[in-house]
Structure 1
Amino acid sequence: MAWLAFDRLTPDGETVTMDRALADEVPVAIEFNGIGYAVLMATPTDIGDLVQGFALAERLIGPDDAPFDVDTHRTDQGIVARATLPPSRTDLLLERVRHRASDSSCGLCGIENLEQAIRPLPPVTARSRADRTAIFRALDGLAAHQPLNAATGAAHAAAWVDADGAIRLAREDVGRHNAFDKLIGAMKRAGADWEGGFALLSSRCSYELVEKAVLSQCPLLVTISAPTRLAAARAAAAGLPLVVLARPDAVLHQGNAPLA
């Protein structure tokens, strides 16, 4: 971890020189079945979890598919992560690669890409048993699971919280999407499900995070900041309950389902 010296202005007007740790961010090139699929900018930890969760978010695997092995290779430029999907997923992989690499300069390709970007989501059938007390308990405990952010002030966290508000597992990354992929991937590799709990994210609620939650059959998504209009609409369409603005300086808002 690198360090940066900077000047900080104190309340009495004096300047104090301080050192601050810098979060690492490197390119992670993901290959599935020998095909270069994507390059993500990510914190270089828990890469196997990241690839596993990313594959689910890309719909290359389903929530009931077995986890796969990930081989990682560090280079001077970044990390190469290689995984092999089941033969039954080969056609789907090739189709997704075609859409990702298509030239959207023609109208038809552009329409196809838009359809891929906003694909229908499966309904969320799982239900959370958590109440407001559980949410506030998890919020109080989240900082203890954010060592990278404590050191750098530059990392997001995603946590799996049980129905009583205890944080069972957490992952960090400089990217909020990566943090959630890492958490979902770690749960999948551990054979864990949400068990009536919820996901707690230290970020705003974007539509991509809603989609990741839905595809992992998360029964309740709680975020520190507000949702976008598209995120709220996508969550409502899939039946995913949202609790947003979950922080001490804001009013707790909920959508799509009541909380006790």
Structure 2
Amino acid sequence: MLDNDSGNRLGFISQKIVRHRGESQRADSDYVAEECPVALVFNDISHAVMMATPKDLREFAVGFSLTEGIVQKPSEIFELEVMEGCAGIEVRMTISQKSFFELKAKRRALAGRTGCGVCGIESLELLDLCPGKIAAYPEKVMPSASVIERASHSLPGFQSLMHVTGGVHAAAWCSAEGEIIKVFEDVGRHNGLDKLIGFLALQGVEMRNGFVFMSSRASYELVRKVARMNIPMLATISAPTSLAIEIARMAGVSLVSFCRKDGFVEYVV
């Protein structure tokens, strides 16, 4: 059973500032997005430290575990505890022995590599740049002007942390008709996506019946995470990278970017 500790804070803090306008200035205060180290610990072994907004950390840890292939389903996480320390936050998870054995094998492979981490064929293979095809659905979610317009028009109303700080990304789950169902925010776009996917998995949402809409560019990490969860479409406000397009093509994920109220760009996969 997962506990109910989400490690939630507000996601922003107050900061003293000086506002400048022309030659004048005045002391004031403002809110900034909170960012801190979040260590993800599996069976007492620290696997990764992410810089993230310390909000919705239960969903973040579950989503990260799924999108990085550490577990295949939430039920393989037996316990989850969020612990705050002076240097950051630890999310401690107990996972199944099978998942932990596979994680240790992967860690040994990573430890055996040297250099910059992207040099050489073996290192490139470790980046997991060749995702498998997503499942073939009888009725695949397809991009249309009305669907993208509906999501684009609605998203700002769900970005509460963005309104306060002006400095976070949003990851939204949308129905096939473009209705926004749930939104998570974070200083890191991939963290926001992990939070969203963790939530969907914990709620048992059928991810083939909708799409992800991001308030960011489309990076290869986002496409890879979406593909791993068999989500049929990723839509983003800003541009994609060439690698994001290539991975979407290999996985069969519909990728649309430059999503606005008056149109979008579809990258043929």
Fold-level match, TM-score > 0.5?
yes
Q: What does the per-residue CA deviation read over 1:63-90, in whole Å, with 9 as the maximum and x for residues that have no partner?
A: x553634211011111010112212212
C-alpha separation in 2, matches of 1:156 and 1:164: 22
Partner of 2:107: 97
2:126 is equivalent to residue 116 of structure 1: yes
> Cα distance, 1:36 vs. partner?
0.9
2:167 is equivalent to residue 158 of structure 1: no
| Aligned partner of 1:61 among 67, 71, 79 | 71
Q: Call closer, same or farther: CA 1:226–1:148 in 2, change over 3 Å.
A: same
Query: Larger deviation: 234-243 or 190-199?
Result: 190-199
- Contact 1:26 1:42 (8 Å CA) reproduced: yes
Q: What is the letter of the counterpart of residue 206 of structure 2? A: D
Q: What is the letter of the counterpart of residue 145 of structure 1? A: F
Query: Larger deviation: 65-74 or 235-244?
Result: 65-74
Give the TM-score taking structure 1 as reference length.
0.88
Give the TM-score taking structure 2 as reference length.
0.86
C-alpha separation in 1, matches of 2:127 and 2:208: 30
| Aligned partner of 1:128 among 113, 135, 141 | 141
> Cα distance, 1:91 vs. partner?
2.2
- Contact 1:99 1:113 (8 Å CA) reproduced: no
Partner of 2:87: 77
Listed as ranges, the gaps of 5+ residues in structure 1 are: none
Q: Call closer, same or farther: CA 1:4–1:200 in 2, change over 3 Å.
A: farther
C-alpha separation in 2, matches of 1:135 and 1:35: 42
Listed as ranges, the gaps of 5+ residues in structure 2 are: 1-12
- Contact 1:49 1:184 (8 Å CA) reproduced: yes
Partner of 1:3: 15
Q: Call closer, same or farther: CA 1:130–1:194 in 2, change over 3 Å.
A: farther
- Contact 1:3 1:20 (8 Å CA) reproduced: yes
CA RMSD of aligned residues (A): 2.3
Q: What is the letter of the counterpart of residue 165 of structure 1? A: G
| Structure 1: 4+ residue segments shifted above 3 A | 13-19, 99-103
Query: Larger deviation: 159-168 or 130-139?
Result: 130-139
Q: Call closer, same or farther: CA 1:91–1:67 in 2, change over 3 Å.
A: closer
Aligned length: 251
* Secondary structure at 2:207 match in 1: coil
Partner of 1:19: 29
Partner of 1:244: 257
Q: Which has the higher strand share?
A: 2
| Aligned partner of 2:216 among 193, 203, 211 | 203
Partner of 2:8: none
